[in-house]
Amino acid sequence: MEKTINVLIIDDDPMVSHLNRKYTEMVSDFKVLDEINIDNEMQLDDSKLNKADLLLLDIYLPGKSGIEILKEIRAANKDLDIIIISASKDPLHISEAMKWGVVDYLIKPFDFNRLKQSLKDYKKLKHRLEGSGDLGQKDIDSLMGKNKYSNQNSNRKDNKDNKDDKKEIKNSQDKSKKIIQCLPKGLNQMTLTKIKQFMKNKEDPLTTKRIAREVQLSRVTVQRYLKYMLTQKIVKISKKYGTVGRPKHYYKLIKDDSAV
C-alpha cells in the first residue's frame, strides 16, 4: 500500500470545495484533511499547511488572491505542492502560477477525468522523487510528461475506470457546472444566497454598510454582489441626498430566484 497523500482545499465556495473533496478522495491514496472556505480576509492556519502534502487552491478569493497565497507559501519555504483550480484564464495568472512552481493548473468547470489524471501524475511524481536511486533521462521525461508512449497501457485501463467514474459523478458534476457557470468570476452561490436571505424580509431599503455588518462580510465584497444583483434585476437601487456630500445608495430585494 502506498503512502497516503494529504490534501488541503482552499476555495471560497463550500459547495465547490465539497465537490472537489469528493472527486479527490475517489482517487486512491488521497485524503482531504480540510476544506478552507475563505469568505473574507483571514489568516491561514500554519498547522494545517504543515500537515498537507498538496494544496488545491482557487485564485478568485475575497481579501487576497490565490496567487498572493501561493507567493506567501513559497516565501515561507513550506514543503507543500500546489495545484491551481480556478475559473481564471488570465495569462498573467497562469504565468505567475507557473513561475511560483504549481504542479498543475485546472480551469473551472473541469472534467473529473482531468483532475483524476492530474492527481495520478502528481502521485507518481511524488513517490518517484521520494524513492531511492538516481533518475535517468527517460525517468525524467516520463515524470515531466515528455514521453508520449509511457502511459499508453495505463490509459487503456483508465478508459474502463473512467466509464464507472462518469456514471457515479454525473449528477453532482452537472450541478457543480451549473453553479460555477451562472455566476461571474469571484462570486459564489452560498454568499449570494446569504445576502438575499438577509434582504428578503426587510421592508426598508438597506445600505451596503448595514448589509455588510449583518452578514459579516466586507463592504467591498457586498458591493460586488449588489452590483451583480442589479444587473440581474434581483435588487433595485434608490438614492437619498443629504445636505452635503454624495448621496447614499439604498438597495431593496425585488426578486428571490434561487436558480440565479
DSSP 163-231: HHHHHHHHHHHHHHHHHHHHS-TT--HHHHHHHHHHHHT--S-B-HHHHHHHHT--HHHHHHHHHHHHH
Domain membership of residue 207 as a residue range = 189-253
User: 182, 206, 234 — which closes off a domain?
Assistant: 182
- The C-alpha atoms of residue 182 and residue 188 are separated, in whole angstroms, by 9
Provide CB contacts within 8 A for 70, sequence distance 6+: 57, 82, 84, 96, 97, 100, 102
Closest CA to 187 of 87, 67, 85: 87
32 and 96 within one domain: yes
pLDDT along the chain (260 residues), means of 10: 88 88 94 84 76 93 87 88 92 92 91 92 87 80 65 55 61 52 74 89 89 88 90 89 77 70
Task: Look up the CATH number of the domain holding residue 220.
Answer: 1.10.10.10
Position 260 in a domain: no
Position 150 in a domain: yes
201 and 106 within one domain: no
Position 147 in a domain: yes
29 and 46 within one domain: yes
237 and 130 within one domain: no
Q: What is the pLDDT of residue 10?
A: 92
Count of domains forming the chain? 2
Closest CA to 35 of 24, 67, 196: 24
- The C-alpha atoms of residue 249 and residue 94 are separated, in whole angstroms, by 37
User: 135, 165, 182 — which closes off a domain?
Assistant: 182
102 and 209 within one domain: no
Position 259 in a domain: no
Strand order in the sheet with 104-107: 30-36, 5-10, 54-57, 81-86, 104-107
Position 243 in a domain: yes
200 and 177 within one domain: no
Position 154 in a domain: yes
Closest CA to 189 of 198, 178, 200, 199: 178
Angle of CA points 114, 115, 118, to nearest 5°: 90
8 Å CB contact between 4 and 32: no
71 and 10 within one domain: yes
136 and 238 within one domain: no
Helix (H, G, I), strand (E, B) or coil at 137: helix
Q: What is the pLDDT of residue 21?
A: 93
193 and 171 within one domain: no
Helix (H, G, I), strand (E, B) or coil at 103: coil
The cell numbers describing 141, all together, are: 521525461
71 and 43 within one domain: yes
195 and 174 within one domain: no
